A and B are shown apart, each in its own frame.
Chain A
């Protein structure tokens, strides 16, 4: 097995703290006698582990006393209720605070909300949209579509002979009643 760089560092580190996989371990151990760099890395890692463990020794602690204290504290908890059923003063206070906040919000909302009974109350505002402009001129407009009477006469066409001789359409608009379409037969001259 030929490995280099960071991979070798990783294997050396895992070998030193015994977290290397069994297969990797066998391969790495086979390489160790042949690879001075790997041996150096392992030595550094072993030394680092020793340093860390030696420098972090715990002070002398009476763990029987610690266990007794913890047990006593939990016993007083357990005397009130089981862990999943407990309702401590802290939780009671939190619940009371939540109820208080909800009541305050509801009370305040009662003063500021819009009444829902629209049949008896005044609407809050009137909004008027744009309106069509009313005409101030004459209420009747005549528009002729088609050949004029003179042109029809010059062509010598009789009423109904050709499309061009058909009577002109007249559109009459009135301000109050809207457009109406009438057909007026013009006398031929």
Chain B
């Protein structure tokens, strides 16, 4: 887990974004005309942006499209960012807003597209999903569908908090900036969301 508490700190590491200072510098350099500084920000946050969008939209192409649009919008309105050190949270807010808007624009809002979920093809090698047992693959697909449906049933803030903090392991401060709320509120959203998920998936969590 990335969110391992720091034993010497009064608060868990998960509260802070270790890149915040560097982000602020990169934002200022970009505003001063150094485009390569923004490229560094893209490389640093593209995976998180794609991941959050993908988990909201369930379709790789849509997630990539939203990510590109989000970076473009961030670049265009970078001078409106009041706290350059909060770039990551601000970017995640753009990503989640664009993703949710795209999802609302779909005809059937209740169902996530399952093409990526049911695709047994390539997965992120970081996840280590190398199973070839068809029964296991099928069970995994069914489980994935069920988890997606459970997540989709949560209120928006709870869903986003769990996606960004629990699944994507973004720092709580960054999630708070993305959701435009306090760190305490993020903790509360995560807790409430987890409670509901545990109730919906009781047979799985009790195993």
Contacts and interface: CB of A to CB of B under 8 A. Distances in A.
Q: Answer yes or no: do A and B interact.
A: yes
Interface of A: 9-10, 13-14, 17-22, 25, 44-45, 47-49, 51-61, 63, 66-67, 69-71, 73-75, 77-78, 82-84, 86
B17 interface: no
A47 B64 CA distance: 30
Interface of B: 1, 3-7, 9-12, 14-15, 30-31, 33, 35, 38-39, 42-43, 46-47, 50-51, 54-55, 60, 64, 67-68, 71-72, 75-79, 116, 119, 121-127, 129, 140, 143-144, 147-148, 151, 162, 165-167, 172, 187, 190-191, 194-195, 197-198, 201, 204-207
25 contacts: A17-B14, A18-B3, A18-B5, A18-B14, A44-B206, A47-B207, A48-B205, A49-B166, A51-B143, A51-B147, A52-B162, A52-B166, A55-B140, A57-B124, A58-B127, A59-B123, A60-B123, A66-B46, A66-B50, A66-B67, A70-B67, A70-B71, A70-B72, A73-B68, A75-B35
Contacts of B148: 55
Q: Name the residue among B33, B46, B198, B205 with the largest chain A CB count within 10 angstroms.
A: B205
A25 B150 CA distance: 29
A69 to B, nearest CB: 6
Nearest to B64: A66
A58 B143 contact: no
A17 B76 contact: no
Nearest to A10: B191
A49 B197 CA distance: 10
B123 A67 contact: no
Contacts of B39: 67, 71, 74
A22 B5 contact: yes
B127 to A, nearest CB: 3
Contacts of A47: 204-205, 207
A22 B72 contact: no
B125 A74 contact: no
Given A59-B124, A63-B46, A14 B206 contact: no
A153 B11 CA distance: 114
A7 B91 CA distance: 33
Contacts of B60: 59, 61
Nearest to A53: B167
B50 A61 contact: yes
A44 B46 contact: no
A59 to B, nearest CB: 5
B65 to A, nearest CB: 10
Nearest to B77: A83
A70 to B, nearest CB: 5
A74 B74 CA distance: 10
A51 B201 CA distance: 10
A70 B42 contact: yes
A59 B67 contact: no
A83 B30 contact: yes
Given A51-B147, A69-B68, A77-B72, A57 B12 contact: no
Nearest to A86: B76
B5 A20 contact: yes
Contacts of B38: 74
Contact of A18 (B4, B126, B147, B198): B4
Contacts of A54: 127
B61 to A, nearest CB: 10
Given A21-B11, A70-B42, A77-B75, 4 more contacts: A17-B166, A20-B5, A59-B54, A61-B64
Most A CB within 10 A of own CB, among B121, B123, B143, B191: B191
Contacts of A70: 42, 46, 67-68, 71-72
